[in-house]
Amino acid sequence: MSDAGDDVPPADTASTADTDTDPDFVAVGAATVDRFYGVTNLPAPDGGAFAREVSERFGGVGANVATGVARLGRDSALLARLGDDDLGDRVLADLDAGPVSTALLRRGPGTTTHCVILRAPDGERMIVTAGDSTVRLRLDDADRDAIRAADAVFVTAYTPDPVTSEIVEIAAEPNGPALAFDLSGPIEELRDRGTEPATIDRVVEIADLFVTAELAAESYLDCPGHEAADVLRERGCSRGRSRSVPTARRCSTATSGPGSSRSTSPRSTRRGRATRSLRHWPNAGCSAATTPWKPVSSPQPRRR
C-alpha cells in the first residue's frame, strides 16, 4: 500500500545560489532554447522549404527583456521556471554567465520551454513552442515580495493566467510597481497556456506600458491593427500617450522575444543598483506596433 503523499509531485527548487531577491526590475516569462532555421520560404500546408542557415540561441520573452534592462545598467531579475532536463541546465548556465539575477528562477519536473523558428528571407517568421516548464510557473511568497519591492515589473502574455492576474493586482496596489505588459501573441495561441482575455482587460486598466503587434492586437481587440492604439485608449489605457508605431521588422538575430536573442557568449555587463529609479523612466499608456516590437516613450514620467 502506498503512502498518501506518493502522488504529490516534487516541489520546485531554487536553481541558483544567487541571493539578489530585491531587484529594481523583475521580468516574468520564459527562458528558452531557440532552434533557428533561415529558410527559403515559409511552407504552406503540406509544403516544404530548405534551411540555408541553422543555429541555436538562447531566447524567451522574459529572459530577453531582463537581459536588455540589465545591459542598460539596471538591477534586473528574471522570474521564470525551467524543467529538470538538459535544456534547463544549458539555459541556466547561460543566464548565470550574464548580468541578470537568477535568484527568482526555479526548477521542477517537466520539459524546459523551447522553440523552433522558421524565418524567410523577407523577415516573415513561424514559431512553434513546446515544453511545459513555463506553463507550470506559479508565484510563491518570495516572488510576491520581490515584485512589490521592485520599481517596475514586466509580464508577457505567455505567462500563465494565474501568475499574470496576481501580478496585475499587486501592481494595482497604492505602492505597487509600474507594470509593463506585452501582448505577445494572438488570443488563440494563448488559450490554456497564457494570459486570458479577462485578465488582459484588467491589464489595460492598470498597465503603465501596453505593447502589442498587429496580429495580436487584431485578435484581442477585434479591430484593424492600425486602430489598435485608439481602441486601447478607449478601453482605459490612458496614462501617457497612446499611438501606433510603424517599425522595421526584427533583425535576423531576433528569436522568440522582443529585441535580439541573447548571445551564448558571456556578457560583460555587471549587475548593480540603479542610480535612478525605474519609476522615473518615461512611459506610455500603450504602444500598438504595426510590426513587432518597438515600444513608444512618452515624455511624462509616471507619478503615483
pLDDT digits (tens, 9 = 90+) for 274-298: 333 333 333 334 444 333 333 333 3
**Cis status of the peptide bond prior to 281, with omega within 30 of 0:** no
Give the separation between CA 184 and CA 182, rounded to whole angstroms: 5
Angle at 38 between CA 31 and CA 48, to 5 degrees: 110
Beta strand pairing status for 178-183 and 152-156?
Answer: parallel
Contacts of 68 (CB under 8 A, 6+ apart): 258, 259
pLDDT for res 232 = 80
C-alpha span between 19 and 103 (Å, rounded): 5
Residue 173: C-alpha distances to residues 144, 178, 201, 204, 304 (Å):
12, 10, 17, 15, 10
Pairing of strands 114-119, 125-130: antiparallel
Angle at 101 between CA 34 and CA 65, to 5 degrees: 45
Q: Which residue has the cell 542598460?
A: 72
* pLDDT at residue 243, rounded to an integer: 53
Q: 20-30+60-112+134-264+275-289 has which CATH code?
A: 3.40.1190.20
Tens place of pLDDT for every residue, the chain, 304 residues? 444 444 445 667 765 555 566 899 999 999 999 999 999 999 999 999 999 999 999 999 999 999 999 999 999 999 999 999 999 999 999 999 999 999 999 999 999 999 999 999 999 999 999 999 999 999 999 999 999 999 999 999 999 999 999 999 999 999 999 999 999 889 999 988 999 999 999 999 999 998 888 888 899 999 887 788 888 878 777 654 555 555 433 322 233 444 444 433 322 332 333 333 333 333 334 444 333 333 333 333 333 3
Residue 190's CB is within 10 A of a number of other CB atoms, namely 24
Which residues are CB-contacts of 181 (< 8 A; sequence separation ≥ 6)? 154, 155, 156, 157, 200, 203, 207, 209, 210, 211
Q: Enumerate residues 6+ apart whose C-beta is below 8 A from 115.
A: 32, 33, 34, 35, 59, 127, 128, 129, 130, 255, 256
Per the listing, cell 516569462 goes with: 29
- Strands (DSSP E) contained in the chain are 13-14, 25-28, 32-39, 51-59, 76-83, 105-108, 114-119, 125-130, 152-156, 178-183, 209-213, 242-245, 286-289
CA gap 177, 157 in Å, rounded: 18
Closest CA to 55 of 232, 263, 247: 263
Residue ranges per domain, the chain? 20-30+60-112+134-264+275-289
Query: What is the full DSSP assignment across 80-120?
Result: EEEESSHHHHHHHHHHHTSSSB-TTEEEESSPPPEEEEEE-
All 3 cell numbers of residue 73? 545598467
- Residue 224 has a pLDDT of 87
Degrees (nearest 5) of the Cα angle 190, 196, 201? 130
Q: Are 13 and 107 in contact (CB under 8 A)?
A: yes
Q: How far apart, in whole angstroms, are the C-alpha atoms of residue 138 and residue 164? A: 10
Q: What is this structure's pTM?
A: 0.77
What is residue 212's predicted lDDT score, i.e. its pLDDT?
86
